[in-house]
Structure 1
Amino acid sequence: MGSTPSANLFKPLQEGDPVVVGGYRLVAVLGVGGMGKVYLSYTPGGRPLALKVIRPEFSEDPEFRRRFKQEVHAAQRVQGLYTAPVIDSDTDGAQPWLATAYVPGPSLAHAVAQHGGLPVRSVLLLTVGVAEALHVIHGAGIVHRDLKPANVLLAADGPRVIDFGIARAADATALTGTGVSVGTPAFMAPEQASAGTVTPATDVFALGQIAAFAAIGSPAYGDGSSHAVLYRIVHEDPDLSQLPAELVPLVTRCLTRDPAGRPSLAEIIELCHALSPIALRQGEDWLPQAVAGSITERLRLPEPARTPPPQPAVAPTPTEFSPPGAPYAPSGPPMSSAPTQSAPGVPRPVPPPGHPMPPRQGHPTPAPGYPTHSSPAPGYHTPPPVIHAPHPPSARQKRKRTGLIVAASVVGVVVVLGVVGSLLSDGDGKDKKIGANSPSSARSSGSSGGGTSGGGRHRADPKPVSYKGVDLTEGYKIMLADSPPRPAESEDAAYDDGDLYFGVVRFLDEASIGTANGKLILLNNTQKGSLETCRTETRYAEKVNLDQLSNGSEFCVLSDAGHVAVATYRGRSGENDPGSYVTIDLQIWRNAEEAKGN
């Protein structure tokens, strides 16, 4: 199989592709993924970059934006030899983006599709490199959660792991559906596939999958529909009959169903060295010659543009995302203060020498490295100010202005009354006489809950209300707005109308507590459930398997209506009980957050 010609690697920009993103002039399209499109660009010094622009569908999700910002900041701390470092980003713009170092090498998925499985030595060097990358990624507090062959690039001096942590931002958003975490089914771990639970051990399982895929040339759990593959991962053993014998101990340990039984990354590296008859050392010969040829193709990069984009007579207001034919416009919002690969004060890309920087309109915040005052760019001369003689307002203008003042006064009175009303509302967490036991009234008040009011003023957190020994029957739901929260029968088998439900999937032999109106966070044994803990933790899931719980286990419930609860698991009904139910204690902070969609 021959290597892909470079003409197919760097596709030209098409209609609808931007010309400039965040001040970076785009040169070609590198690829399209589930979360966005990746472009080739260059730093001012000529170093190539891979710049990913997030899809608009994700950009419009506030929860995605919040978590994407957190994950990008965490990813900027990852400085490993086997990762592609994050160089720059904009998490607040109209369409978020991030730029990483360009890696001239095919993905493992592409290499295997083109050339088949790799020799044992290459697989061992691949495994130790990815294990070292995961060690650095986990050290930054990140779990990759979508480690797959497409996210492992094969460079001349070893593998590179990309897109670490970014999948977490998309997990459990409105676009990902319910019940299954973000990830590629063929490379998910059993706990991730069944309950959405993700830990560093989840990445170890994926690493075992990658090693098997690299050696065999196909997934260890076979192909087919997502549901079929996930069922095999949860309930069946992998097919390792085609795996070279020396790799079987390594892969088998990594693919242990119980996360606690999987080896640590240090053990994996040590085992790889023990399995190799010669010392493992990364070098130019770590890949077969045919795969190495793909690297050569990717080194033939398109040249950076030598001229700036066309400039009209009047430059429009700059944006961080310019469509084809639009004028050059450096990024509007500055980068976050989190450390990046670039040193402080390094400016964003500018046009090549000899081409002046076009003027800005509207005085946007300059990019890092640019002066914060409004002095013109070199090569431009500030025209003298145009002074117009003042004109007295006409009678019509006066009438309009008077009407606006009256309208503003009315709005102000309404706002004040709203604030007073909210301060007189359920401050102690108990429902008042009007609509006291009405779930709909309590849920509707969620729009005024949360840490801030509509005017941006901070208000005191609501006091929690506790409920002990709530029995939640299988197929029933609980709404946190109810006082007390009484289990009610769910309207359908999908449990799509409850803040908390207990469900059992018989054919998977899986029992879980889940939510259809928010998020769950399973707390560690060392964490104490509180409102602050629930607000700061972001290890979201939409259900928690009972296998993960023991008496006293706590998990947060974050309702879309703005209610927050800490649930404490107290056990499940016994075999001799006439019904199937779980018992939980609830501590609820009603209207602690802004309701989603308001």
Structure 2
Amino acid sequence: MSGTPSVGPFQPLKGEDPAVVGGYRLVAVLGAGGMGKVYLTYTPGGRPLALKVIRPEFSEDPEFRRRFQQEVLSAQRVQGLYTAPVIDADADAPQPWLATAYVPGPSLAHAVAQHGALPLRTVLLLTVGVAEALHAIHAAGIVHRDLKPANVLLSADGPRVIDFGIARAADSTALTGTGVTVGTPAFMAPEQASAGIVTHATDLFALGQIVAFAAIGASAYGDGPSHAVLYRIVHEEPDLSQLPAALRLLVSRCLSRDPTGRPTPAEVIERCQALSSDPLRQGEDWLPQSLAGSLTERRQMPEPARTPPPAPATPTQFSPHTPRPGFGPAYSPTQAAPNRPSPSLQAGPYGPSTAPVDGGRQPWVQPPAAHRPPPQRKRRNLVVAAAAAAAVVGLAVVFSQLPGSSNRDEAKDTHSSSTLSSATSSQQPDPKPVTYNGINMTENYLVMLADSPPRPIEGEAFGRKGDLYFQPRSTNVVEKDEVGSGNGKLVLLNNAQKGSLDLCRSETRYADTISLDQLSDGSQLCVLSNAGHIAVATYRGRSSKTEPSQYITLDLTIWRNAQEPHTTQ
């Protein structure tokens, strides 16, 4: 939940800001970033939350919503003391949103801008805290992807890393476009900036950048236009001349162009402990006095609203939602605990709510009582509806007994309707193809056809398999799980065939594995994903045996949602 307001930490809501999101009454604006706007709100018990509402542009992309929900669920598994826990979210809202615990402290970016470089002891404590946060994030199978000073908050008892993994959801949306990466250029790793490849080591490069930024007060790769900074990251050495000598070896290792040369979070912590004359322990005195004093204003937060949130004014207004299972630290709103009675409806601070059962969630996000239909009128409406339905059924029975009416005629009408529906669906235009050239797929990396652009990711790092992946001496569409349901099919086209959507749809020659020995420059494969995407992959060769990493190069032309999704049992 990043974003640094220009004047004070709490800005008043404006006319374009919603009053309520997901049942949470918004109190103030905390900031805004590339993905959305961040607000201050409270739980019914008075705990402050930072609630980010995603920009409408992302909300219109169904793939973003799917990936957003997936990443939020992954983020909830992070159990680190140096992270801001995810409390609630809704990927299906008119604009998706995410709520985390509020951290009463400035971002590292704001702190350096206001107070300059930090002293060595503070930098060491900052480094071990962020490294421990990365250890917890990586243990949950997440790569942060956008670790930067704006995403590191400085609280009184240590740093907090925020927004982990959410950038990956944005990376899948068509808004990013071909060749455009999600992240902050000055803090990208070389492999992320050049090829879009992201692994756990990518976050360690960003950590090195953060350490240098905190100790120097500026980026190690300088400022300027994004393309100029990215060029320096990929091709030039960082400027560490102003860095304290004690930190140079550690930062140099983190900023290695070779991801395998970077340390692990545990190694970073060990090195920092060795550099400190006293054991590194987080405490109230970890920040310099001038910076610690600025935390006071962030503790003087606006009071929660004392009135229930208003009813939605328009169909586009954010409205209270009933959270799904899995959101919240220990909540299960739709399921009572085993062998325990179901929750009962009670009046809560935000209107009728469900009383918690043994620590269960109290969904205060139910509509206020004043806006619920009167029970008596509701029953009367139900009676009228039932009577109308009975009358329709009775007329249907009478009509079926009239001369000239028969089941044969009814079947004919049904068949005509079905034929018309089929003809209408068959007339739907084919999706437009999107082409991505020069994709380098490293050994044991995979691509998903739904991703835009389809950047290779490490299969083992995410514990999943993809539409197309590269293993030594073969390309293959792999089984999705242990029961054997596949993630798609491959077809090796003949040299005389030119890959197209119609050809890939009509082919019936499927293979599970295709050896690289069968391929030459220009060979084409049809890739048919069970999710309904179709692609033509054109093989462009492989790396030489002398190169440190082995990869193949492909051009991909993708027709997304070109056929009905298919699943196997």
TM-score with structure 2 setting the length = 0.70
Counterparts of 1:374 and 1:248, CA distance in 2: 57
Offset of residue 32 of structure 1: 0.7
Q: Partner of 1:383: helix, strand, or coil?
A: helix
Could you tell me whether the CA contact under 8 Å between 2:84 and 2:160 is conserved in 1?
A: yes
Q: 1:263 to 1:169 in 2, by over 3 A?
A: same
Offset of residue 583 of structure 1: 7.8
Match of 1:399 in 2: none
Counterparts of 1:113 and 1:375, CA distance in 2: 44
Match of 1:24 in 2: 24
Q: 1:279 to 1:179 in 2, by over 3 A?
A: same
Q: 1:591 to 1:107 in 2, by over 3 A?
A: closer
Q: Partner of 2:375: helix, strand, or coil?
A: coil
Q: Partner of 1:242: helix, strand, or coil?
A: coil
Counterparts of 2:66 and 2:448, CA distance in 1: 23
Offset of residue 446 of structure 1: 6.7
Match of 1:210 in 2: 210
Match of 1:51 in 2: 51
Could you tell me whether the CA contact under 8 Å between 1:80 and 1:133 is conserved in 2?
A: yes
Matched, 1:521 2:420: no
Offset of residue 188 of structure 1: 0.3
Report the residue type matching 2:269 in the other structure: I
Counterparts of 1:191 and 1:310, CA distance in 2: 48
Report the residue type matching 1:176 in the other structure: T
Could you tell me whether the CA contact under 8 Å between 1:446 and 1:593 is conserved in 2?
A: yes
Could you tell me whether the CA contact under 8 Å between 2:10 and 2:30 is conserved in 1?
A: yes
Counterparts of 2:229 and 2:303, CA distance in 1: 43
Q: 1:120 to 1:595 in 2, by over 3 A?
A: farther
Match of 2:260 in 1: 260
Q: 1:212 to 1:370 in 2, by over 3 A?
A: closer
Q: Where in structure 2 are the equivalents of 1:376-395 lying within 5 Å? A: 382-383=375-376, 385-386=379-380
Matched, 1:322 2:317: yes
Counterparts of 1:169 and 1:276, CA distance in 2: 38
Matched, 1:501 2:420: no
Q: Where in structure 2 are the equivalents of 1:295-314 lying within 5 Å? A: 295-310=295-310
Offset of residue 562 of structure 1: 2.4
Q: 1:356 to 1:498 in 2, by over 3 A?
A: closer
Q: 1:414 to 1:188 in 2, by over 3 A?
A: same
Q: Where in structure 2 are the equivalents of 1:556-595 lying within 5 Å? A: 562-564=533-535, 570-571=541-542, 594=563
Report the residue type matching 2:542 in the other structure: G
Comparing 379-388 and 110-119, the one that deviates more: 379-388
Comparing 68-77 and 523-532, the one that deviates more: 523-532
Match of 2:328 in 1: 340
Comparing 185-194 and 522-531, the one that deviates more: 522-531
Match of 2:155 in 1: 155
Q: 1:56 to 1:571 in 2, by over 3 A?
A: same
Offset of residue 593 of structure 1: 5.6
Match of 2:420 in 1: 414
Unpaired stretches in structure 1, ≥5 consecutive residues: 324-328, 359-366, 394-401, 422-440, 448-496, 505-512, 538-549, 575-581
Could you tell me whether the CA contact under 8 Å between 2:84 and 2:101 is conserved in 1?
A: yes
Q: 1:568 to 1:280 in 2, by over 3 A?
A: farther
Offset of residue 585 of structure 1: 9.2
Match of 2:522 in 1: none
Counterparts of 1:590 and 1:206, CA distance in 2: 35
| Alignment size in residue pairs | 468
Report the residue type matching 1:519 in the other structure: P
Match of 1:99 in 2: 99
Q: 1:445 to 1:225 in 2, by over 3 A?
A: closer
Counterparts of 1:57 and 1:378, CA distance in 2: 31
Unpaired stretches in structure 2, ≥5 consecutive residues: 335-342, 354-359, 393-404, 441-446, 466-470, 489-514, 520-524, 546-550
Match of 2:477 in 1: 530
Counterparts of 1:570 and 1:174, CA distance in 2: 28
Could you tell me whether the CA contact under 8 Å between 2:179 and 2:453 is conserved in 1?
A: no
Q: 1:48 to 1:408 in 2, by over 3 A?
A: farther
Report the residue type matching 1:521 in the other structure: P
Offset of residue 118 of structure 1: 0.2
Q: Partner of 1:160: helix, strand, or coil?
A: strand
Offset of residue 17 of structure 1: 0.8
Match of 2:135 in 1: 135
Counterparts of 2:227 and 2:127, CA distance in 1: 28
Q: Partner of 2:74: helix, strand, or coil?
A: helix
Counterparts of 1:350 and 1:10, CA distance in 2: 33
Q: Where in structure 2 are the equivalents of 1:432-511 lying within 5 Å? A: 499-502=435-438
Offset of residue 499 of structure 1: 3.5
Q: Where in structure 2 are the equivalents of 1:231-250 lying within 5 Å? A: 231-250=231-250
Q: Partner of 1:41: helix, strand, or coil?
A: strand
Counterparts of 1:301 and 1:519, CA distance in 2: 43
Q: 1:532 to 1:125 in 2, by over 3 A?
A: same
Match of 1:485 in 2: none
Match of 2:175 in 1: 175
Counterparts of 1:19 and 1:583, CA distance in 2: 52
Offset of residue 233 of structure 1: 0.3
Report the residue type matching 2:326 in the other structure: A
Counterparts of 2:535 and 2:107, CA distance in 1: 42
Q: 1:26 to 1:514 in 2, by over 3 A?
A: closer
Could you tell me whether the CA contact under 8 Å between 2:540 and 2:553 is conserved in 1?
A: yes
Comparing 95-104 and 287-296, the one that deviates more: 287-296
TM-score with structure 1 setting the length = 0.67
Residues 262-303 of structure 1: per-residue CA shift (max 9 Å, x gap):
111111100000111211110000001111122111000100
Counterparts of 2:81 and 2:50, CA distance in 1: 17
User: Identity over the aligned pairs, expressed in percent?
Assistant: 58
Report the residue type matching 2:191 in the other structure: E
* Aligned-pair Cα RMSD in Å: 4.9
Q: 1:444 to 1:233 in 2, by over 3 A?
A: same
Report the residue type matching 2:210 in the other structure: I
Offset of residue 524 of structure 1: 4.8
Offset of residue 251 of structure 1: 0.5
Q: 1:113 to 1:99 in 2, by over 3 A?
A: same
Residues 116-168 of structure 1: per-residue CA shift (max 9 Å, x gap):
00000000000000000000000000000000000000011100000000000
Could you tell me whether the CA contact under 8 Å between 1:521 and 1:557 is conserved in 2?
A: no
Offset of residue 418 of structure 1: 7.7
Q: 1:26 to 1:589 in 2, by over 3 A?
A: closer
Match of 1:88 in 2: 88
